[in-house]
Amino acid sequence: MSQAERESDLLLDFDRQPTVARVEIDRFCDGCGYNLRTQPVRQLGQTGLLLCRCPECGRLQSARDSTTAGRLWLGRLGTLLLFVWIIVVLGAGFGLAAAQVGLTFVPLEEFSRYQPITSIVPTPPIPAASMPIGAPQSTITIIQQGGVTYRTVTSLQRQVRADVPYYLPFILLMRGLSFSSGFVLAMLAAVVLYHWRRWGYLIPVVAISVGAGLLVWGIWRNEQPHLLDWANPHILAHAAAHLAGGLAGILLGRPLARLIATLVLPPRVRQVLAFLWLVDGKEPPAVSAGP
């Protein structure tokens, strides 16, 4: 019997053995680099060795990793990289939250300007509560008319700008960026928190949509209360755009991540991201570049 025939009989005998477990972690084939996660583990003949077979190249692999000094140091490096990865993910989340606050605030600032408002009041001055609202600076002039002394108070107050020529394009751009911010946030959650249920990805999306809207509303209510009724629709529209982007990201985030990984990453590197396929019940990508 030739060597090839003996190896073929060995593989056939191995395939007939009952499955005793499955590979539950990322374990890569030593021959082709295929990710063996979810592959069945069987015992080899009388030896009792726990092995799994690579579906890509057919090679038998040990189901257990051997511990060496190199693997220990790789494990420590992996722990360090894990902390770096967590910091990067949290930073991206906070960055997207800050971006949503800015996107909500920019139209309010862009479509309103400080303008001089003049009021004439007799002396003695009226109470401060009756003075013009939101005036960072004021100029007071004393005049007399008909034997009565008046104060002319000129102050700066924010007013809505009328007839802005680029109003619609600017609004569409800001709302589109809010939509994109929600999409990226949901896509990031779907990839990093792939073990969550889909409805769980709504938590960060809703939190940032509502939180950013409330923060901008509170700032505007405190600084420009006379324009609050005008600002409310803008704030609600940005929150709705961010939420709509988040819903789209929940549905399309992982498929888009798989497409990007397929187009950008080489076959062997894609095996590290095999969980993106496995979590949705799909077959992990092949190691070979061919069909």
What pLDDT is attached to residue 146? 58
What pLDDT is attached to residue 105? 93
Residues 175-201: b if buried by 16+ CB within 10 A, e if exposed: bebbbbbbbbbbbbbbbeebeeeeeeb
Distance CA 157, CA 115 (A): 5
Look at residue 289 and tell me if it is in a domain. no
pTM above 0.75, yes or no: no
Low-confidence residues in the chain, pLDDT < 70: 1, 3-5, 45-47, 64-75, 78, 117-155, 288-291
pLDDT tens, position by position, 33-77: 788 888 888 887 666 778 888 888 888 887 766 544 555 566 677
Residues 185 and 259 in one domain: yes
Look at residue 288 and tell me if it is in a domain. no
What pLDDT is attached to residue 94? 94
Enumerate residues 6+ apart whose C-beta is below 8 A from 59: 29, 30, 31, 32, 53
Residues 177 and 263 in one domain: yes
Residues 265 and 220 in one domain: yes
What pLDDT is attached to residue 67? 47
Q: Which two tokens stand for residue 116?
A: 């001089």
What pLDDT is attached to residue 133? 45
What pLDDT is attached to residue 135? 46
Pick the closest to residue 240 from 274, 201, 205 (CA basis): 205
Q: Which residue range forms the structural domain that includes residue 60?
A: 3-66
What pLDDT is attached to residue 126? 46
Residues 167 and 245 in one domain: yes
What pLDDT is attached to residue 131? 47
Residues 95 and 143 in one domain: no
